[in-house]
Amino acid sequence: MSAKQNQRPASKQGSGVVGQPLNRVDGRLKVTGGARFAAEFPHDQMAYAVLIGSTIANGRIKGFDTSAAKRVPGVLAIITHENAPKLRPVATNPAEGDAAGRRVPLQSPVIYYHGQYIAVVVAETLEQTQQAAALVRVSYDEQPPAADMERERGKAYPPKGKVAGKPADTMRGNTDTGLAAANVRVDEIYRTPTEHHNPMEPHATIAVWDGDKLTIYDATQYTYGVRHAMATTFGVPEENVRCICKFTGGAFGCKGTVWSHVSLAAAAARVARRPVKLVTTRQQMFSNMGHRAETEQHVVLGATRAGKLTAIVHEGLSHTSTFDEYVEPFSKATHMLYACDNFKASQRLVALNVGTPTYMRAPGETSGMFALESALDELAYKLNLDPIQLRLVNYADTDPDTKLPWSTKLLKECYRTGAEHFGWARRKPAPRSMRDGRYLLGLGMATAVYPVNHFPSSARVRIQSDGSAIVESSTHDLGTGTYTVLTQIACETLGLPPERVEVIIGDTNLPKAMVSGGSSTVMSVGSSVQGAARAALAKLVETARADTRSPLYGASADQIVASDGRLALKSNDARGETYRDTLARAGMKEVEGSYDTEFNDKEKKFSSHAFGAQFAEVRVDPDFGEVRVTRFTGVFDIGRVMNMKTGQSQMKGGIIMGIGMALMEETVLDTNSGRLVNRDLAEYHVPVHADVPQLDVVLLENFDEHASPIGAKGAGEIGIVGAAAAVANAVYHATGVRVRELPITLDKLLGKGALA
Amino acid sequence: MNPFTYKRATDEADAVREVANGKNAKFLGGGTNLVDLMKMGVETPDELVDINRLALKRIEQTPQGLRIGALASNSEVANHRLVREQFPVLSEAILAGASPQLRNMATVGGNLLQRTRCYYFMDTSFPCNKRVPGSGCSAIPGFNRIHAILGASDKCIAVHPSDMCVALAALDAIVRVAGPAGARQIPLVDFHRLPGDTPQIETNLRPDELIVAVDLPNSPFARRSRYLKIRDRAQYAFALVSVAAALDVQQGRINAARLALGGVAHKPWRALDAEKVLTGARADAQTFRAAAEAALKGAQPQQHNAFKVELARRAIVRLLTEVAHETKGGAA
């Protein structure tokens, strides 16, 4: 299938605004400070809550001495497990919306990990609260922690649940036979460290009780999830809880489920009988909001001399907490990416004294594709085959896992366009064969893939008597551009310019949307907005046709088109009238349309994924092993692109995060105490501007009607997938040193002794 | 954070008097390090004496060299014409550290007193001899990739984090201080201390003394001095290893050399043994390698930082080679 065949007009009707690089409609609010984030809603009588974290990683609390803390002026409450209100556990099914972990805070003296919340202090001012929190003395009965996956590997166990919807051990064909038939084999271990999401905005909650009714302002990816979790925790009806989140300052997965500070803020507000604001610290975000789990992945590839894969084995370990089971599904993409009859996946878990891991941008693919795409690169060198050619030899024309046809797949196009843009042809095949003055130069590539996830969702569109329109859904803007893209989708159907459409989101008083995770928001909510806009427009058309005074009286609905805020005959634009005229004459304030998007994923006829190809150039100092990325090209098939600017920004953000993963990101535990040692942004390194070169991002034209009614396949996550592997492969090409353990810091290159 | 009182000092004498009288007082300059540590509970002063209104911001030429006021911001020093012309290593070192926002706030005096970034020092739940003498060192059995390889003790393996001080060590800078007993001068290389048995005492500045200026003595060959910093990301990261160097090369022979290392010890590490090797020798690769060997002689790495020894050697060779090439007279 070529790009051309899949191409659809940028706009089927209306203004053609979809796809345009429209500036963010909330941009002005953001840069002028007018955008109100969760912690920024003022309330009379607001009190402040500060959480105290455990300083040990394993053991029990013996007791608290709160006498000095209580003497601090303004202290309203000090809540510990000894006096906390009873909080009910919440299910951990994220699809229901939900708690990130089963453990309910402040209900027992048992300590499972460093930083675990053990007390909440509430006082009149933030300063008083912080001072009192610093004066709470805690005594512990400390036990040695399990803080090292390597040391605990003997206790690895099979996950009780599924791994990304599949059994933890799966086999297709027979990998033993496949490996026996192989001429060439790669058999290596790859490691990825614990990483943290680190959004700019910390987790923050304001809780306001009015009798048994709770209003909660929360930094979240899932307002309805917060509502459900709070209703369950406090035993009140769901309709008694309202969650509001107008802007989220980045999330990357750590705000997708409900962490325990949310219920602690609400509990504190109930105890103190005051509105309570709770903003977590950066340090607390390292302990209590999940992380990408460490992995150790064993990849075995067998291939013929021509490069045809005869077997793929992808197995290994990741860590979870001692009280919850979270599996980092690193083998997920390996099931379906390359054509291979013999495939085996197997995952095991090691329980550590850490907080429960969670989803982090492309969970599974991000760690797994580092291993798989590094292994493919190793195979390419063994076969003396171009890495792109090797991938084409094993190109899957249908999904090898489900055997379904692809809904659309422009991966070959991604390779070809990427190679052209990046200048792949200039790459000399041999490692350590290219230089830029003193520096070793390396070029590497990797494939990207991410599945289509779409969720049922609802939206409402109201065309107003002044000719403008209001779009409503409870969905979220994580900084991704939801406001802007929903505006464009509504404009397209309604035939209105962007400045006449207002999007209102982030409130459980609005129609329900699911979690903004899994790259699902635009596909799901966007489709609902399109449906609701059509429904509202249909009502407007009916109103006009039914009105004897309207120039469109009696015209058939399919002869009427909407554009520039007018309804008119297709055949005669002069015969028409503005929305305002239609509604004014009818004496109506507005017409309203609603739409609930449902996806029938039980009887799938197609396998739907976004695809991409990542290309990195690195420069390595041969004496010091310092690696800098000098160029990067990413080409992606994400279905229809709703906004070329925000879409490209999503890819760039993903690639930058991938560069960080490749070269610097790593959360370190002190294995003796189980404490985190680098839990701030000075010591936990993410890329700064100087680490990021010019990023060349290409989004191919496509329209995937099977992925979503609006043709999109999802943009949030695929940008990071494969990016780290592309960098790692480039480092090998530059130096001839294969680093299989991220991040590729200079000591790992120096330690190999292979540099000058 | 503990409650504290705040006082704005009107002049040097007032500032010194205030701290001498206060039981547990600290001077407040840019606050970029002190305030962070107060939030973490590492520093718990009862009083802050704000010295930002004192007239200590000037950078001026003196017959002996340059005098930099203690309250000159890192940005002002790094971008000052006289500094860039006469002591480029200082400008390069400062610009290699922190971020523009921090450098705009941070002062020269404060930078001299910057405290270590040892993870175990900055988290009060860990035992740390520097924070609580006698409690033990958590870094030695812990994660010590960023720690010292030279001059450490079994009580402390922390490193001094400043880039600026490495350049000052190479430039024979003099720290001018004022105190209750009057003014005195401390050579930069004697200003910071090795940890020994008292890692909690980091400098030879007395608690009630105020840094008023740093003097840089005239040095013609410092005009071609350079700084090299190796780190885990391109900017805004502390040095794994850094080197400050200046060479006086005449007809391929080294008349004089200044060499200092950062990221390797509890203080900015002046490599006097390496300077001895360099002085009088030919400015060639063999000499530079010998100097690097001499500088790292006696290095004692920890479990996770053995790479620093070789990295430091290579950094020294690289920088000396570059300085020699740029120096009038050239390499042999």
- Cβ within 8 Å, pair A745-B232: yes
How many inter-chain contacts (A to B, CB under 8 Å) are there?
80
How far is Cα A225 from Cα A216, in angstroms, rounded to an integer? 12
Is residue B129 within 8 A of residue B136, CB to CB? The reply is: yes
Beta carbons within 8 Å of B35's beta carbon, 6+ residues apart? none
Give the residue among B102, B103, B1, B101 at the shortest CA–CA distance from B90: B103
- B225-326 CATH: 3.30.390.50
* A613 and A731 housed in the same domain: yes
- Token pair for residue A86? 């009873």
pLDDT score recorded for residue A167:
94
B5-52 CATH pick, 3.30.565.10, 3.40.50.1100, 3.30.420.40, 3.30.43.10? 3.30.43.10
Q: Look-up: residue for tokens 């064909």?
A: A173
> Domain count of chain A?
2
Q: What is the DSSP string of A82-120?
A: TTPPP-------TTT--BSSSPPTTSSSEE-STT-EEEE
Residues of A in contact with B235 (CB under 8 A): 688-691
Q: What percent of chain A has pLDDT over 70?
A: 96
Sign of CA dihedral A558, A562, A563, A564: positive
- Cβ within 8 Å, pair B119-A678: yes
Write the CATH number for A500: 3.30.365.10
Q: Is residue A549 part of a domain?
A: yes
The 10 Å Cβ neighbour count of residue B319 is 23
The 10 Å Cβ neighbour count of residue A568 is 23
The distance of A47 to chain B (nearest Cα, Å) reads: 18
Give the residue among A354, A381, A272 at the shortest CA–CA distance from A671: A354
The distance of A661 to chain B (nearest Cα, Å) reads: 12
Residues of A in contact with B123 (CB under 8 A): 675, 677
ipTM beyond 0.85? yes
* A482 and A592 housed in the same domain: yes
Name the β-bridge partners of B25.
Answer: B47
Name the β-bridge partners of B67.
Answer: B60, B215
Domain boundary among A597, A626, A657: A597
Q: Is residue A504 part of a domain?
A: yes
Q: Is the peptide bond before A9 cis (omega within 30 degrees of 0)?
A: no
Residue A13's pLDDT band (cuts 50, 70, 90): very low
pLDDT score recorded for residue A34:
96
**Secondary structure of residue A587 in the 3-state scheme:** coil
Residues of B in contact with A747 (CB under 8 A): 145, 307, 311
How far is Cα A584 from Cα A564, in angstroms, rounded to an integer? 17
- Cβ within 8 Å, pair B234-A691: yes
Q: Is residue A63 part of a domain?
A: no
* A536 and A673 housed in the same domain: no
- Token pair for residue B54? 């004192």
How far is Cα A480 from Cα A647, in angstroms, rounded to an integer? 8
Angular region, A475: left φ>0, alpha ψ -120 to 50, beta rest: beta
- Cβ within 8 Å, pair B234-A688: yes
The answer, yes or no, to whether residue A536 has pLDDT greater than 50, is yes
A676 → chain B, closest CA residue? B119
Question: Over the range A643-673, which residues count as b (16 or more CB within 10 Å of their CB) and which as e?
Answer: beebbbbbbbbbbbbbbbbbbbbbbbbbbbb
Q: What is the pLDDT of residues A703-742, one digit of tens each?
A: 999 999 999 999 999 999 999 999 999 999 999 999 999 9
pLDDT score recorded for residue A600:
83
User: Which residue from A134, A624, A682 is facing B41, i.e. has the nearest CB?
Assistant: A134
pLDDT score recorded for residue A98:
54
Beta carbons within 8 Å of A527's beta carbon, 6+ residues apart? A454, A457, A597, A708, A709, A710
A745 touches chain B (CB under 8 A): yes
How far is Cα A21 from Cα A13, in angstroms, rounded to an integer? 18
User: Which residue from A624, A664, A677 is facing B233, i.e. has the nearest CB?
Assistant: A664
First to last CA, chain A: 48
* A570 and A656 housed in the same domain: no
Give the residue among A354, A447, A466, A426 at the shortest CA–CA distance from A658: A447
- Cβ within 8 Å, pair A134-B2: yes
The answer, yes or no, to whether residue A6 has pLDDT greater than 60, is no
| Element spanning A503, H or E | strand A501-504
How far is Cα A589 from Cα A171, in angstroms, rounded to an integer? 61
Q: What phi and psi, each to the nearest 5 degrees, are found at residue A79?
A: -110, 125
Beta carbons within 8 Å of A500's beta carbon, 6+ residues apart? A467, A468, A469, A491, A565
- The crossing angle, in degrees rounded to 10, of helices A223-234 and A260-272 is 50
Q: Look-up: residue for tokens 């080197």?
A: B243
* A639 and A742 housed in the same domain: yes
Cα-only R_g, chain B: 20
The pairing of beta strand A609-620 with beta strand A439-451: antiparallel
How far is Cα A563 from Cα A12, in angstroms, rounded to an integer? 12
* A474 and A579 housed in the same domain: yes
| Element spanning B275, H or E | helix B272-278
The pairing of beta strand A469-472 with beta strand A457-464: antiparallel
Q: What angle do CA A345, A349, A351 make, to 5 degrees?
A: 175
Q: Domain limits at A556?
A: 10-35+455-597
User: Which residue from A127, A628, A750 is facing B234, i.e. has the nearest CB?
Assistant: A628
Predicted TM-score of the model (pTM):
0.97
Q: Is residue A576 part of a domain?
A: yes
- The crossing angle, in degrees rounded to 10, of helices A723-735 and A644-663 is 50
Q: Is residue A106 part of a domain?
A: no
Q: What is the DSSP string of A359-417?
A: --SSTTHHHHHHHHHHHHHHHHHHHT--HHHHHHHTB-SB-TTT-PBBS---HHHHHHH
The distance of A517 to chain B (nearest Cα, Å) reads: 30
Q: What is the pLDDT of residues A133-164, one digit of tens each?
A: 999 999 999 999 999 999 999 999 999 989 99
SS3 string of B32-98?
A: CCHHHHHHCCCCCCCEEEECCCCCCCCEEEECCEEEEECCCEHHHHHCCHHHHHHCHHHHHHHHCCC
The 10 Å Cβ neighbour count of residue B271 is 29
Q: What angle do CA A145, A149, A150 make, to 5 degrees?
A: 115
A629 → chain B, closest CA residue? B234
* A575 and A559 housed in the same domain: yes
Beta carbons within 8 Å of B308's beta carbon, 6+ residues apart? B149, B240, B241, B263, B264, B299, B301
- Cβ within 8 Å, pair A626-B143: no
Q: What is the DSSP string of B221-233?
A: GGGG-EEEEE-SS
Q: Is residue A573 part of a domain?
A: yes
How far is Cα A251 from Cα A360, in angstroms, rounded to an integer? 9
Is residue B12 within 8 A of residue B212, CB to CB? The reply is: yes
Domain boundary among A597, A631, A646: A597
Q: What is the mean pLDDT of residues A508-522?
A: 96
Q: What is the mean pLDDT of residues A74-93?
A: 91
- Mean pLDDT over each residue of chain A, to the nearest integer: 95
Eight-class DSSP state of A333: G
User: Which residue from B120, B125, B230 is facing A624, i.e. has the nearest CB?
Assistant: B230
Q: What is the mean pLDDT of residues A689-703?
A: 97
How far is Cα A709 from Cα A532, in angstroms, rounded to an integer? 13
A746 touches chain B (CB under 8 A): yes
The answer, yes or no, to whether residue A754 has pLDDT greater than 90, is no
Q: What is the pLDDT of residues B206-233, one digit of tens each?
A: 989 999 999 999 998 999 999 999 999 9
How far is Cα A533 from Cα A493, in angstroms, rounded to an integer? 6
- Cβ within 8 Å, pair B125-A55: yes
| Element spanning A627, H or E | strand A627-637
Please count the residues of chain A: 756
* A400 and A472 housed in the same domain: no
The answer, yes or no, to whether residue A203 has pLDDT greater than 60, is yes
Q: Domain boundaries in chain B?
A: 5-52, 225-326
- Cβ within 8 Å, pair B314-A130: no
How far is Cα A384 from Cα A311, in angstroms, rounded to an integer? 19
Q: Is residue A673 part of a domain?
A: yes
Domains B5-52 and B225-326 are alike in CATH topology: no
Q: What is the pLDDT of residues A18-37, one digit of tens each?
A: 999 999 999 999 999 999 99
Q: What phi and psi, each to the nearest 5 degrees, are found at residue A524?
A: -80, -60
**Lowest model confidence (mean pLDDT) among A99-108, A626-635, B229-238, B256-265:** A99-108
Task: Print pLDDT tens along chain B (332 aa).
Answer: 788 999 999 999 999 999 987 679 999 999 999 999 999 999 999 999 999 999 999 999 999 999 999 999 999 999 999 999 999 999 999 999 999 999 999 999 999 999 999 999 999 999 999 999 999 999 999 999 999 999 999 999 999 999 999 999 999 999 999 999 999 999 999 999 999 999 999 999 998 999 999 999 999 899 999 999 999 999 999 999 999 999 999 999 999 999 999 999 999 999 999 999 999 999 999 999 999 999 999 999 999 999 999 999 999 999 999 999 987 554 44
Residue type, B291: A
pLDDT score recorded for residue A603:
86
Q: What is the mean pLDDT of residues A332-361?
A: 97
* A645 and A567 housed in the same domain: no
Q: What is the pLDDT of residues A663-684, one digit of tens each?
A: 999 999 999 999 999 999 999 9
The answer, yes or no, to whether residue A2 has pLDDT greater than 70, is no
Task: Spell out where chain B has E strands.
Answer: 5-8, 25-28, 47-50, 59-62, 65-69, 174-179, 182-187, 210-217, 226-230, 241-250, 253-262, 269-270
Burial class (CB in 10 A: 0-12, 13-18, 19+), B60: exposed
* A447 and A477 housed in the same domain: no
Tally the C-alpha atoms within 13 A of residue A465's C-alpha that lie toward its C-beta. Answer: 8
* A627 and A741 housed in the same domain: yes
Is residue A418 within 8 A of residue A635, CB to CB? The reply is: yes
Q: What is the mean pLDDT of residues A405-431?
A: 98
pLDDT score recorded for residue A99:
59
The pairing of beta strand B25-28 with beta strand B47-50: parallel
Domain boundary among A552, A573, A597: A597
The answer, yes or no, to whether residue A293 has pLDDT greater than 60, is yes
Catalytic residues of A: 717
